[in-house]
Every structure is written in C-alpha cells, then in structure tokens.
Amino acid sequence: MATQTWGDKETQFFYELSPEKILSCVESLGFKTTGRAMVLNSMENRVYEIEIYSDSPNPSEHFLISKFYRPGRWSKEQIQDEHDFLLELDESEVPVIAPLVIDGQSVFTDEVSGLYYCLFPKKGGRAPDEMNIDDLEILGRTLARLHTIGASKKAEHRLKITPQVYGRQNLNYLLNAKVIPSHLEKTYNDLVLEVCNISEPYFNEEKFIRIHGDCHLGNIIRRGDASFHLIDLDDMVMGPEVQDIWLSIPGVDQYALQDRAILLEAYESMRPFPREQLKLIESLRTLRFIHFSAWISKRWEDPAFKLHFPQFAEHHYWEIQIQDLRSQLELINNSLNNQYLY
C-alpha cells in the first residue's frame, strides 16, 4: 500500500517525452502509426490521440489513445491496480473504457526514459451538462454495479481516502513547501487539523472498497446509445462508496438533494447503499479542497500549472481557503451530529 498522496518517489517533468518518443512507444507494441498525434486535455499526465494504419471500416479504430503517466506519481503496481479494476469492470459489462492488453500486459515501460504508458481504444462521447430523471437512474445503477465489482477484492497498492492521507499529509506538504503566507499559516493549519480530528472517527477503513474516486461529471461521458461511460480512473482509491455519489451530484440545494435521492433509489435497486456514509460528504468535500491546494503546490514548477492557476501565488487564494474551511467546519459538525441525515 502506498503511503504518500503524491507517490513515494519525487515526480519529474515530461522533458523526455517528444513526438518521436510517443510514436516510437506505440509502434513498439506492434502498431504502425501515420505520424499524426494530437494532444488531449490532461493536467496530470500526457494523453495523445494517435492515428494508426488500419483496415477497419470503423473510423474510430484508426486511432488509439496513448497515456503517459507522470514520472514518480504512481508505481507500476499502483497503475496495474487501476488497470485490473478497469478490466474486471469491462469483463462484467460495466461501461468503462479498459486499456488494451498486449501479450498479457497493459502497463508498458519505455526503457530509455523509464516512463510508464498504456493504450486505450478511442471511444467518443460528451460530458453531460445536466441530468434528467432517467439519466440519474442510469448513473445510480451504473455506480452500484461499479461498487459491486469494487467490493469483490482490494487494491493492495492504492491509497485510502482518509483524513490522515488526504488531510494531514497534504497539510504537512503545504507547510514544508512554505507556500502559505506566514501570517495565515497557523490559522490554516489549525482549521485543517480540526477538520481531520473531528472527521476521523467516522471513517471506517475496514469497509473501504475500490471506488472511482474522481467521479465528477467531467469523468462521465454520454455515448451514442445514451448510456454513460465512467472514464479516467487515474485517481482510483480505496474509500467509502459515498465519495462517488457526492462528486457526481456535488450540490447542496434542494434540487441537488432531490437528484441524489433519485440516484440512490436506483442504486439501491442493484445494491444496498450504506446511508450512514452520507454524514461523510462534507468531510470528503473538505479533504478535496485541501488535496487540490497540495496538488497545485506539488506541480507548481510545471509551467502548465502556473498558466492555469495564477491565483495560487496570491495571498487572496489562501484567505479564500481559510474562509471555505471555516464554513466547511460548521457544515461538518452539523452533518456528523445530525441523526436524521440518512
């Protein structure tokens, strides 16, 4: 089991990843490329659409998706845990996009750079802007099926989403990196520790299962047959099922609660849902805030992060974080002490 949120090795840049290297890696697995490669959107890894020669009449089969993992972010064993989960889900006809298996392998290593990479089939789709009742019911049943497979075995090398790992470890990284303005550091530290301390007793690690871990609407695509596919399990973790529920419906207003109720009713037609976990939503939301700040800090020397998150270097960013933590702390206390929540 990995112990560090950001991997047990120091991450590096993708300096050694040239277009020639990308195409060479794909061709080393037996494909003939046309020389065309298009960069796809990904902050953490490097993902490319590669055109290949193919006799297939299906246009999508003339392309592959190559994914190169950020050096040092995940071990090969952790990536394999992700792939094994995807392959199990695919075998059980849960709508995901599984990696290609070539000669019994799905995780490959470039011998020169040491980069880990894999290939996926190209599957088109669009992220939903909103969901109607039918959509919510389909998603609820899909998540139930994913969790049924997720509960069948452990991911031995994956992180657990706990206040210790996603809260205190991220806090320690931020403090050591000296990115929090000195006059705000103690306040931020105290608030994060209070969030972790009051939330921790409610996290039952013994009942954790394999979950998607980052199941927001951007990682749910609608395909032509109106089904939903769950994509990008790069942040797959061992954790409570409710993490996937609240991220798919993150709102807190009356309409969001109604949507969540519809989704859970459909979920429970396939699998029991541990409703006591609903108490954890605000704790999990807050851990995600902390994790997000640490993620930006860890990647700050990557030029792409400075371009996308310029506010991170300003004092105002941390003032907002402190305001959010104070608000979340009140919500957490209300949730954990509300016996009628579920």
Q: Give whichever of 33-47, 114-128, 129-143, 188-202 has the largest mean pLDDT.
A: 188-202
Q: What are phi and psi of 333, to 5 degrees?
A: -60, -40
Q: 209-211 and 220-222: which strand pairing? A: unpaired
Residue ranges of E strands in the chain: 33-40, 46-52, 63-68, 108-109, 116-121, 209-211, 220-222, 228-230, 237-239
Q: Say how many CA atoms lie within 13 Å of 180 toward its Cβ.
A: 24
Token reading at 241: 């099922």
CA distances, 227 to each of 21, 113, 287 (Å): 36, 39, 31
Residue 342's pLDDT band (cuts 50, 70, 90): low
Q: Which run of H or of E encompasses 147? A: helix 133-150
Is 5 a domain residue?
A: no
Residues 253-279 have a mean pLDDT of: 97
Q: Domain check: are 100 and 140 in the same one?
A: no
Q: What is the CATH number of the domain that holds 270?
A: 1.10.510.10
Q: Domain check: are 99 and 147 in the same one?
A: no
Contact 48, 39 (CB under 8 A): yes
Q: Domain check: are 75 and 102 in the same one?
A: yes
Task: Calculate the CA dihedral of residues 313, 247, 130, 221 and round it to 10 degrees.
Answer: 90
Query: Binding site residues, as ranges?
Result: 219, 232
Is 2 a domain residue?
A: no
Q: How many domains does the chain have?
A: 2
Q: Domain check: are 100 and 159 in the same one?
A: no
Is 233 a domain residue?
A: yes
Is 6 a domain residue?
A: no
Q: Domain check: are 145 and 106 in the same one?
A: no
Q: Encode pLDDT of 17-33 as tens digits.
A: 888 899 999 999 999 99
**What pLDDT, on a 0 to 100 scale, did the predictor assign at position 6?**
52
Is 40 a domain residue?
A: yes
**What pLDDT, on a 0 to 100 scale, did the predictor assign at position 2?**
52
Q: Encode pLDDT of 196-248 as tens digits.
A: 999 999 999 999 999 999 999 999 998 876 678 999 999 999 999 999 999 99
Computed over its alpha carbons, how large is the radius of gyration of the chain? Answer: 21
Query: Binding site residues for Mg(2+), as ranges?
Result: 219, 232
Q: What is the DSSP letter of 33?
A: E
Q: What are phi and psi of 76, to 5 degrees?
A: -60, -35
**Residue bearing tokens 């055109």:** 51
Q: Domain check: are 115 and 165 in the same one?
A: no
**Residue bearing tokens 């004092």:** 315
Residues 26-54 have a mean pLDDT of: 94
Burial of 154 (0-12, 13-18, 19+ CB in 10 A): middle
Q: 63-68 and 220-222: which strand pairing? A: unpaired
pTM for this prediction:
0.93
Residues 283-298 have a mean pLDDT of: 97
Q: Domain check: are 232 and 289 in the same one?
A: yes
- Write out the residue range of the structural domain in which residue 288 sits: 133-336
Token reading at 145: 């099926």
Q: Rounded to whole angstroms, how far apart are CA atoms 120 and 4?
A: 27
Is 13 a domain residue?
A: no
Helix/strand/coil for 230? strand
Out of 121, 155, 189, a domain closes at: 121
Q: Domain check: are 214 and 256 in the same one?
A: yes
**What pLDDT, on a 0 to 100 scale, did the predictor assign at position 340?**
54
**What pLDDT, on a 0 to 100 scale, did the predictor assign at position 11?**
56
Q: What is the CATH number of the domain that holds 105?
A: 3.30.200.70
Q: Rounded to whole angstroms, how far apart are CA atoms 24 and 137?
A: 44
**What pLDDT, on a 0 to 100 scale, did the predictor assign at position 72?**
82
Residue 5's pLDDT band (cuts 50, 70, 90): low
Q: What is the DSSP string of 203-226?
A: --GGG-EEE-S---GGGEEE-TTS
Statement: residue 4 has pLDDT above 80: no
Out of 121, 148, 179, a domain closes at: 121
Percentage of residues in the chain with pLDDT exceeding 90? 80
Statement: residue 10 has pLDDT above 70: no
**Beta-ladder partners of 49:** 38, 65
Out of 80, 95, 121, a domain closes at: 121
Residues 307-334 have a mean pLDDT of: 96
3-state helix, strand, coil split of the chain in percent (to 5) is: 50, 15, 40
Q: What are phi and psi of 291, to 5 degrees?
A: -60, -40
Q: Which of 242, 76, 240, 85 is nearest to 154 (CA)?
A: 85
Q: Which residue in 214, 234, 244, 302 is the catalytic one?
A: 214
Q: Rounded to whole angstroms, how far apart are CA atoms 151 and 154?
A: 7
Q: How many residues does the chain have?
A: 342
**CA 137 to chain CA mean position, Å:** 22
Q: Domain check: are 45 and 93 in the same one?
A: yes
**CA 203 to chain CA mean position, Å:** 19
Q: Domain check: are 139 and 115 in the same one?
A: no
Is 146 a domain residue?
A: yes
**What pLDDT, on a 0 to 100 scale, did the predictor assign at position 52?**
97
Q: Where do the H-state alpha helices sit in 166-273?
A: 169-177, 182-199, 242-248, 254-267
The two most distant CA atoms of the chain are separated, in Å, by 64
Q: Domain check: are 154 and 114 in the same one?
A: no
Q: Domain check: are 66 and 212 in the same one?
A: no
Q: Which residue in 81, 135, 232, 302 is the catalytic one?
A: 232
232 is catalytic: yes
214 is catalytic: yes
Residue 1's pLDDT band (cuts 50, 70, 90): low
